[in-house]
A and B are shown apart, each in its own frame.
Chain A
Amino acid sequence: MSPVVENADVVVVGGGPGGSTVSTLLAKRGHRVVLLEKETFPRYQIGESLLPSTVHGIGRLLGVTEELENAKFMVKRGGSFRWGTNPVPWNFLFAVAPELSGPTSYAYQVERMKFDEILLRNAARNGVDVRENSAVTTVLDDDERVRGVRYTDPEGVEREIQATFVVDASGNRSRVHQHVRGERIYSDFFKNIALFGYFEGGKRLPAPDSGNILCAAFDEGWMWYIPLSETLTSVGAVISREHAAKLQGDQEEALLGFVARCAIVKDFLSDATRVREGTYGELRTRKDYSYTNSSFHRPGMVLVGDAACFIDPVFSTGVHLSTYAGLLAARSINSVLAGDIAEDRAFEEFEGRYRREYRVFYEFLSAFYDMQSNEDSYFWKARKVTNLNATDMEAFVTLVGGVHSGEQALTQSFQESSGALADAVERTGSMQTESGERMHHLFGTPVVREVMTEMNNIQVRGVQGAEAVEAPLLENGLVPAADGLSWTEPKK
């Protein structure tokens, strides 16, 4: 039997933050958008720590600022790191100085069940046709372009939607992304896996840092410690994939073993109990491999979020990269559907900005891992910039889609980034000190400047709207239109 056929301007596959962002920003321009989500919300997801540009930039563009405030999520003023040579944790705060406040100075730690649902219901309120319990089975395409999808509706009926664009925001485990005809390239350097669970009654960092994420390095890797409420904490160990076998056995024993070998987390959990019931009662694992697809788009189709790329969780970038890509994709699709910009130019801007964002975080990540030294640790030795070989370099260039400036030049630039970062961390000093509250040294390093560029642009756009001024980010590139929802050629 042939399926029921419908038409839409855009079909978005996946209702996580990336899918909700792109679909809402398309609907705001009046386009017919159908969003297909295979599960029924609310549903569990990992990636709980947000960055300010998602909350204050994207959040404002979506119109969820007040709802996020009302949800009373844990306020995060930055990350605290037991990492590198300082035995005391040091802070990477979002505000450059404590007296300089404003929206950019905080983000939230969120239960993704709640956060993702706020974004999805907001998409529906903005006119997106949200269909849950609807799994995509096939992507329809021909030599020229992607033309739609087939999916199974909640009653088990096969349906077809023909659309001008298909957005794949279906995450890291779906196969929909294969239809852009690229390949997924993994970083050999950051093939980490994570084992995580939830605890009640864990200690908190002293105020005003009590809402911060704590990342603590230990011999076998590092641990995250994310306060989700006054009493609930998300705790995870990020370790080398060589330990994957350990995780096949008793996961409880494995996680508690990692906790026992990570001094600060051990102390923080000394009076805590692991949650054993409900959604948070399960121990889970995830491959936290860093990867990118060799292509992020083809005519009629674009990848957003984990479908396109993923980077190690240490900087809380998961939701940022997804929602950022959602914004970029919406700008490109809105421009093409309005007939303002040719499809190839619009998506060159999309892919150029998205890869740039990935590259700057990847360089930051490389420098960051390089700072931590454990003499006898396989995990940390294998992640030293000096141990990058020709193959790693080649992989890096493919991964970030950059221009190969030569292996030596690349190693040197990584070492410089790492040196500058380590130096800035040392000057900043321990958390809860006068200097440790001031981020001038850290924000001044070239790698951090690069990382902040677009996140700052998005926040200014979110807060100031049409008054925000943006120069092209890429050479011969486009700039956002006044409402931030499409591209326009820059004024000469």
Chain B
Amino acid sequence: MTAPLSLDRLRGDVAEVLAEEPGSFADDDNLIDRGLDSIRLMSLATRWREAGYEAGYLELAQEPTVKAWWNLLGSEESK
């Protein structure tokens, strides 16, 4: 079973797909400027869906920052 999603794991997952060190980007950095592309975005959406979060590719694409995504996924957790 996949570990529950925390803000740290979210940052870690993003860092992994971008092949960057965690902490090398801020939570409100636009991740597209950090090399996020459609494939990486899709793989994050799939990864988080596996963990039980209905993170749609499109919703994630609307505002590609860690902060926005945490709001999106974090609010789901409290449901």
Contact = CB atoms under 8 A, between A and B. Distances in A.
B46 A102 contact: no
B38 A95 contact: yes
17 contacts: A95-B38, A96-B57, A99-B32, A100-B38, A100-B64, A102-B37, A104-B42, A440-B58, A440-B61, A440-B62, A460-B39, A460-B42, A463-B39, A464-B43, A468-B46, A469-B43, A471-B49
A383 B22 CA distance: 54
A468 B36 CA distance: 16
Given A468-B43, A469-B47, A470-B46, A101 B38 contact: yes
Contacts of B62: 440
Contacts of A464: 39, 43
Contact of A96 (B36, B39, B46, B58): B58
Interface in A434-492: 440, 443-444, 456, 459-460, 463-464, 467-471
A105 B41 CA distance: 13
Contacts, number: 55
Contacts of A456: 42, 57
Contacts of B39: 102-104, 459-460, 463-464
B56 to A, nearest CB: 8
A96 B58 CA distance: 8
B34 interface: no
Contacts of A97: 61
A459 to B, nearest CB: 6
Interface string B49-64: 1100000011001101
B49 A102 contact: no
B40 interface: yes
A440 B32 CA distance: 17
Given A96-B58, A100-B32, A456-B57, A471 B37 contact: no
Interface in A87-114: 95-97, 99-105
Nearest to A103: B39
B20 to A, nearest CB: 16
Interface in B4-54: 32, 36-43, 46-47, 49-50
B41 A100 contact: yes
Contacts of A101: 37-38
A464 B36 CA distance: 14
Range, interface on chain A: 20 to 34
B47 A105 contact: no
Contacts of A469: 43, 46-47, 50
Contacts of B64: 100
B63 to A, nearest CB: 11
Contact of A103 (B36, B38, B57, B61): B38
Contacts of A443: 58
Most buried by A among B41, B58, B64: B58
Nearest to A56: B39
A460 B42 CA distance: 7
Most buried by A among B38, B46, B49, B62: B38
Nearest to A470: B46
Contacts of B36: 100
Interface in A159-178: none
A471 B43 CA distance: 12
A460 B45 CA distance: 11
Contact of B38 (A102, A467, A470): A102
A460 to B, nearest CB: 5
A96 B50 contact: no
* CB-CB nearest 4 A-B residue pairs: A102-B37, A102-B38, A104-B38, A463-B39
Interface string A133-160: 0000000000000000000000000000
B52 to A, nearest CB: 11
Contacts of B42: 104, 456, 459-460
Given A104-B37, A460-B39, 17 more contacts: A96-B57, A96-B61, A100-B37, A101-B37, A101-B38, A102-B37, A102-B38, A102-B39, A102-B40, A104-B42, A460-B42, A463-B39, A467-B43, A468-B43, A469-B46, A471-B46, A471-B49
